[in-house]
Amino acid sequence: MIELKNREQLQLMRRAGAIVGETLQLLRGLVREGVTTEELDQAAEAYILKCGAAPAFKGYDGFPATLCTSVNEEVVHGIPGSRKLRGGDIISIDCGAFYQGYCGDAAITVPVGEIEPEWRRLLEVCEQSLALGIDQARVEKRLFDISSAVQSYVEKNGMSVVRDYVGHGIGRQMHEDPQVPNFGKPGRGPRLTQGMVLAIEPMVNMGGYKVETLSNNWTVVTVDRSPSAHFEHTVAIMEDGPEILTKV
């Protein structure tokens, strides 16, 4: 069942989303050669707590950290640790927080110093596919209009969308109905209505769409080890159009 949010709930979700957006903004400024993913995680947790919020991922199914940090061929669910970022890397940072019982969830992929032009294009295609997906998040559209907009743009650019992980409804739980795939046929799925809040999150691979999980049971990587990017926003569907709650 898709839970619609009322005015009061949306106000709390705006605050939760803003905290997540501010955290990612802070982290973007910290990404540089030599920084460890653990240092990013500590900075994120400190900021979230300072805002009177709580990390959403820590303890979720036993996940040990505030952020998911996924470098290069890592797609999602990378665990922060002692790995130092190197020039030419890309890092996907996924962050979630609860504020007064409501969740915000967003992700960005950030270059470390100078990166290959093709990798820069990967980031641009992924971020633009998210923008095109969000633009479909309108009253009277259908859910898979979002999915289709993401998929068609990515594939037109010769890249692929991950199938095994999808976006989701969000609210009192981090993951609520409906699932929001990044692939599908337009004109299908539930009709979108005022008060739905969706986490839309394309994961885009430069190579094939297939992914696998490493032996730590968390880190998801591309099977062909091509680089992968991830951008995500929490978006409220409002009468006058999509409202991004997690602006970075």
Which CB, 3 or 224, lies closer to Mg ion?
A: 3
Kindly state whether residue 22 participates in binding Mg ion, applying the rule CB under 5 A.
no
For Mg ion, what does the binding mask look like between residues 153 and 172, x meaning CB under 5 A? Answer: --------------------
* Closest distance of CB 56 from Mg ion, Å: 9
Tokens read off for 20: 């997540």
For Mg ion, what does the binding mask look like between residues 56 and 95, x meaning CB under 5 A? Answer: --------------------------------------x-
* Closest distance of CB 183 from Mg ion, Å: 16
Alpha carbons 133 and 152: distance in angstroms, whole number = 10
In the chain, the DSSP E strands lie at 54-55, 67-71, 74-76, 90-99, 102-111, 160-161, 167-169, 176-180, 197-200, 203-205, 211-213, 220-222, 228-230, 233-238, 241-244
Q: How much of the chain is in helix, strand and coil states, percent to nearest 5?
A: 30, 30, 40
Q: Which residue has the tokens 């920084």?
A: 35
Site for Mg ion in 179-238 (CB under 5 A): 199, 201, 232
Kindly state whether residue 176 participates in binding Mg ion, applying the rule CB under 5 A.
no
Which CB, 125 or 199, lies closer to Mg ion?
A: 199
Kindly state whether residue 105 participates in binding Mg ion, applying the rule CB under 5 A.
yes
Q: Please provide residue 62's backbone torsions phi and psi, each rounded to the nearest 5 degrees.
A: 85, 10
* Closest distance of CB 150 from Mg ion, Å: 14
Q: Please provide residue 243's backbone torsions phi and psi, each rounded to the nearest 5 degrees.
A: -120, 115
Using CB under 5 A, list all residues that contact Mg ion.
94, 105, 107, 199, 201, 232
